[in-house]
Chain A
Amino acid sequence: MILDIGRVCIKIAGREAGNIAIIVDKEDTKHVLIDGNVKRKRCNISHLEPTDLSLKIKKGASHASVINAMKKEKLEVKPSTTKKPKKEKPKKQRKQKQPSTEPKILQKKAKENKKTKKETKVTKKTTKNKTKKTASTKKKQTNKTKK
Chain B
Amino acid sequence: MIKKQTISRKMRKVFVKTPGGKTQLVYKRPKTSKHKCAACGAILKGVPNRRPSKVRKLPKSLRRPERPYGGQLCSSCTRKKLRQKVRKVSKK
Contacts and interface: CB of A to CB of B under 8 A. Distances in A.
Interface of A: 10, 12-18, 49, 51-52
A10 B86 contact: yes
Given A10-B82, A49-B82, A15 B89 contact: no
B53 interface: no
B90 A17 contact: no
Given A14-B67, A15-B67, A49 B86 contact: yes
The A interface is mostly helix, strand or loop, or mixed, namely: loop
Contacts of B67: 13-18
Interface residues of B, number: 13
A51 B86 CA distance: 7
Contacts of B78: 12, 17
A74 to B, nearest CB: 14
B34 interface: no
B79 A12 contact: yes
Interface string B49-67: 0000000000000000111
Given A12-B82, A17-B67, A52-B90, 18 more contacts: A10-B86, A12-B79, A13-B67, A13-B75, A13-B79, A14-B67, A15-B65, A15-B66, A15-B67, A16-B67, A17-B68, A17-B78, A18-B68, A49-B83, A49-B86, A49-B87, A51-B89, A51-B90
Contacts of A12: 78-79, 82-83
Contacts of A18: 67-68, 82
B86 to A, nearest CB: 5
A12 B90 CA distance: 16
A15 B75 CA distance: 11
A52 to B, nearest CB: 5
Interface string B71-92: 0000100110011001101100
A10 B79 CA distance: 11
B73 to A, nearest CB: 11
Contacts of A17: 67-68, 78, 82
A17 B75 CA distance: 10
5 contacts: A15-B65, A16-B67, A49-B83, A51-B86, A51-B89
